[in-house]
Amino acid sequence: MAGKADVTLLVNPHAGRGRAAATAHQVAAHLGARGLRATVSSAESVPAMRAIAAEVVQHGDTGLIVIGGDGMIHLAIQEIAETCTALGIVPAGTGNDFATALALPGDVPAATAGIADALEAGEHRRVDLARCGQRWWASVLCAGFDSAVNDRANRMRWPHGPRRYDLALLVELARLRAVPIILDLDGRTVSLDATLVAVGNTSTYGGGIPICPRADPSDGLLEITVVGRISRRQLIRVTPTLRRGEHLAHPAVRSYRARSISVHCAEPGLITAYADGEPISALPVTAICHLGALQILQSVAAQPGS
């Protein structure tokens, strides 16, 4: 009933140079002022944070609220997918692609008020998730040029910050090449040379790039965007259209839709797939969309189309 919801706020105390922890206590105070019971739980390691999320589910709490971005969401859904515990999101990451796709507020006060409204009304929104083996993911899985940039940046110790990704981008651009890929789309096989394969439950990655512009996290399907054989010069020219979602018109780009997709590479171990910005596995990889696998703390009035 209203005012009796139990929720846990999950936070990495060092995220944002300590700002995430302060934000969590601010959110808890606002929820408490509205008569909602909120507990702040913090942990520094991924296993410890997953243990907190698992305990929330075991206790049957109404919701788990994460303070962070797509990485924190990725961590939380490993435990709360296909459970009765709903996810609340206070965006505090670099990209916040999943929160943006769900039209959730981007600032702390509005996000907190939205979560409180949903808790008081006992409302939530069901959205799809995708799964590769035992790993759930929420936004976009990528394999190819963009995942190679992610992979290289993660292995680099210098420079720090965004410059690391800029350097990784330049290195991988010099190494750009298409490789033979086999896609299994709900049992239909497509063979082609690909520079990049992106599989979207939602449309954007990388802080708002609509790589899969037609993806809908409530239709039970995944949107697949494939960039075929393309030169470095052509890729540089196509890049600005990515921000506008106009790349599907390029002759080197193909788009598909499927509930289940397997991506195979002719050179095993060459490409590592990333989802929600996190490494998943080397190809081959199979992703399956699970309809309504996640509950989101979002009131009916705040949902798109309401």
Q: Which residue has the tokens 């290195």?
A: 171
Predicted confidence at residue 233, as pLDDT, reads: 77
266 close to 180: Cβ distance less than 8 angstroms: yes
Neighbours of 170 (CB within 10 A): 10
SS3 67: strand
Phi, psi angles (nearest 5°) of residue 290 = -110, 110
CATH 2.60.200.40 boundaries in the chain = 137-291
pTM score over 0.75: yes
Residuewise pLDDT in 10s, the chain (306 residues): 334 568 999 998 877 667 888 899 999 999 999 999 999 999 989 999 999 999 999 999 999 999 988 999 999 999 999 999 999 999 987 778 999 999 999 899 999 999 999 999 999 999 999 999 999 999 999 998 777 777 777 777 777 655 666 677 677 676 677 889 999 999 999 999 998 899 999 999 877 888 999 999 999 999 999 988 887 777 777 766 666 777 877 788 999 999 999 999 988 778 899 999 899 999 999 999 999 999 999 988 888 876
* CATH code of the region 6-123: 3.40.50.10330
Neighbours of 4 (CB within 10 A): 11
Predicted confidence at residue 165, as pLDDT, reads: 62
Q: Which residue has the tokens 């929820």?
A: 31
* 3.20.20.70, 2.160.10.10, 2.60.200.40, 1.10.3720.10: CATH of 137-291: 2.60.200.40
Q: How far is CA 241 from CA 123, 140, 214, 234, in A?
A: 38, 18, 15, 11
Rounded CA gap, 154 and 258, in Å?
30
222 close to 208: Cβ distance less than 8 angstroms: no
Predicted confidence at residue 64, as pLDDT, reads: 97
275 close to 74: Cβ distance less than 8 angstroms: yes
Helical ranges in the chain per DSSP H: 19-33, 46-59, 70-80, 97-101, 108-121, 145-155, 162-174, 232-244
Q: How far is CA 71 from CA 93, 138, 235, 258, 278, in A?
A: 8, 10, 28, 25, 7
Three-class SS string for 117-149? HHHHHCCCEEEEEEEECCEEECCEEEEEHHHHH
Predicted confidence at residue 3, as pLDDT, reads: 40
